[in-house]
Amino acid sequence: MSEISTLEMLAKLIDEKKPKVVVDLGSGYGEKDKTNGHINDYFLPAAEKYPETAFIGIDNDYTPENMPKDLPNTKHIYGDIRNIPLEEGVSDITFDAGCSGWVLSSENGYKVFEEIHRITRNGGIGFIEVGSEFLQVLPKEKTKQKKLKELVNEAYRVGKISDEGGGYHLDVSNEKYSKLYDEIRKIVDVPMEDVMNSFGLQIIEKIPYDLERHEDPQYTYLWKKGEKKNHAPINLLGTGYKMLERIQNELGE
C-alpha cells in the first residue's frame, strides 16, 4: 500500500470511471475565498482539471454572503451531510475529505453513511478520508454494557483531576487510567471497514493518506456501493473524554 493524496485519488477515479457527477461532502471554501479557516484543497482544483464533469459541493457552513464563487461546472449547496439535499442516485462518485470524521461522532452521525449510500447511483464508487481505523460503538449486549459501565466509572475515579476553575479533566498520563481506557476501547472499537460494510459501502481498499497534510495516521477508504442494509441506528460514541461522557450518559453512572 503506498500513500496517495486525495487529489490523486480523485483524479484516478475520474480518469477510470468518467463520471457525469461528482459530489464532495464538506467541500469547504476555495483557497481564494478562504473564510473561517476552512479550505478546499480538492473541489475547485478538480473541477478546473475536469471541466466536462459536474461537481456538487455540500457544506453546512455556507451562508448567502460567503458562498464560494461557482465555475461553469460547479454548484455549491448549503446542507448537512447527515441529510443531504440531493436526490437518490444522482452521484457517480461521492467523496469526503476531512469532514465525516468529525460528523460521525455527532448526533445521528451514522446517517452520513446512509446518505452517502442513498445519493450514490448503483454501481457508484467513492472514498472517505478519515484519521481513524476504528469507530467507537456502544455494544448492544447487556453483559458488555455492564462491564463498560464499571470500567468508565473506574476510569473517572482514578483519572479525574480537580481543576481550580471548578471543572475537572482526566489525567491521560496516569497509568491506571490509560490501562482502563485501553480496556474500554477493546469493548467499543469496531474497525471502520466493518462499520462501512454494514451500511452497504463495501471497502475496496484502505490506503494510508499522505502525511504531509496530517501528523496523525490518516486513511482513505475507497468503497463501492453495495446492497442497502436495513439495520437499527448505531450509536457512535466519539473518542476520548467525549466518549466516556457519552457512555455515562447512555448507561448511567
Ligand X SMILES: C[S@@+](CC[C@H](N)C(=O)[O-])C[C@H]1O[C@@H](n2cnc3c(N)ncnc32)[C@H](O)[C@@H]1O
Please count the other Cβ atoms lying within 10 Å of the Cβ belonging to residue 212.
Answer: 8
Closest contact distance (angstroms) between CB of 40 and ligand X is 4
**Closer of 41 and 193 to ligand X (Cβ):** 41
**Closer of 28 and 124 to ligand X (Cβ):** 28
**From 36-44, 63-71, 119-127, 192-200, span contacting ligand X (CB under 6 A):** 36-44
State the DSSP code for 112. H
5 belongs to the binding site for ligand X (CB under 6 A): no
Size of the site for ligand X (CB under 6 A): 20
Instruction: Identify the burial level of 232 via C-beta atoms within 10 angstroms of its C-beta, where 0-12 means exposed, 13-18 middle and 19 or more buried.
Output: exposed
38 belongs to the binding site for ligand X (CB under 6 A): yes
Q: What is the rounded CA–CA span in Å between residue 23 and residue 46?
A: 11
- The correct pick among 9, 10, 21, 28 for binding ligand X (CB under 6 A) is 28
Q: Which of residues 59-78 bind ligand X (CB under 6 A)?
A: 59-61
- The correct pick among 13, 23, 27, 118 for binding ligand X (CB under 6 A) is 27
For residues 3 and 207, the answer to whether their CB atoms sit within 8 Å is: yes
Q: For strands 134-136 and 189-191, give the pairing.
A: antiparallel
The phi and psi torsions of 242 (rounded to 5 degrees) equal -60, -40
**From 56-64, 65-73, 116-124, 162-170, span contacting ligand X (CB under 6 A):** 56-64
- The correct pick among 9, 90, 103, 180 for binding ligand X (CB under 6 A) is 103
Q: What is the rounded CA–CA span in Å between residue 152 and residue 141?
A: 16
Angle CA(200)–CA(8)–CA(71) in degrees, nearest 5?
A: 90
Q: What is the rounded CA–CA span in Å between residue 127 and residue 34?
A: 24
Residue 187: which residues within 8 A CB-CB, separation 6 or more? 139, 144, 147, 148, 151
- The correct pick among 11, 39, 77, 158 for binding ligand X (CB under 6 A) is 39
**Closer of 10 and 54 to ligand X (Cβ):** 10
**Closer of 42 and 199 to ligand X (Cβ):** 42
Closest contact distance (angstroms) between CB of 183 and ligand X is 31
**From 23-31, 66-74, 154-162, 233-241, span contacting ligand X (CB under 6 A):** 23-31
Closest contact distance (angstroms) between CB of 33 and ligand X is 11
Angle CA(65)–CA(100)–CA(247) in degrees, nearest 5?
A: 120
Q: List residues binding ligand X (CB under 6 A).
A: 26-28, 38-42, 58-61, 80-82, 97-99, 102-103
